[in-house]
Amino acid sequence: MPTSATVPSADATAASPAGGFTLLELIVVLSILGLVTAMTAPAVLQGIASWERQAQVDVLVEQVRGLPSQARGSGRAIEISNAALASDAPPLLAGDGWELSVPTPWRVQANGICETGVLVLRHPSGREHALQVRAPFCDLRVGDQE
């Protein structure tokens, strides 16, 4: 049975480099990541806000497109005015913080025919979206106002 063993010398262990990164390399990488984040974050946040605004406009567009079938189903005309929008059962609903107004009242007749009208959807930031409703089928044209 062998009784001897080889032990590596102190010179052999000191010559092998340690794995990993230096503190300077980590600081440089983190600085670069911070700069990239600082440059892209405003654009990303603005994109998210734009998507939220567009989603709210899309919801209102779908509500307006459904007005003719609601009028035909109930057999009654639907009035779109600021007073109707402020009532307990408004014909159209805007999301939280959004404001919906009608410069000139218009109606959807009981047979589902729309009159020409305009809806103004105001974002909490103050940006407005004008939705032009065209007769006779409640076709919509969406425009932005600054």
pLDDT in tens, the chain (146 residues): 566 556 565 555 555 567 899 999 999 999 999 999 999 999 999 999 889 888 988 999 999 999 999 999 999 999 999 999 999 999 999 988 899 999 999 999 999 999 999 999 998 888 888 999 999 999 998 876 54
pLDDT for 110 equals 96
pLDDT for 129 equals 87
pTM: 0.70
38 within some domain? yes
Domain that holds residue 87: 24-145
Distances (CA, A) of 47 to 6, 9, 71, 91, 145: 66, 62, 37, 30, 18
Nearest-angstrom CA–CA distance, 103 and 84: 13
Cα four-point dihedral sign 117, 106, 62, 92: positive
13 within some domain? no
Structural domain count of the chain: 1
Cα four-point dihedral sign 115, 116, 120, 121: positive
Radius of gyration of the chain (CA): 32
19 within some domain? no
Query: What CATH number does the domain containing 102 carry?
Result: 3.55.40
49 within some domain? yes
8 within some domain? no
The distance of Cα 35 from the centroid of its chain, to the nearest Å, equals: 26
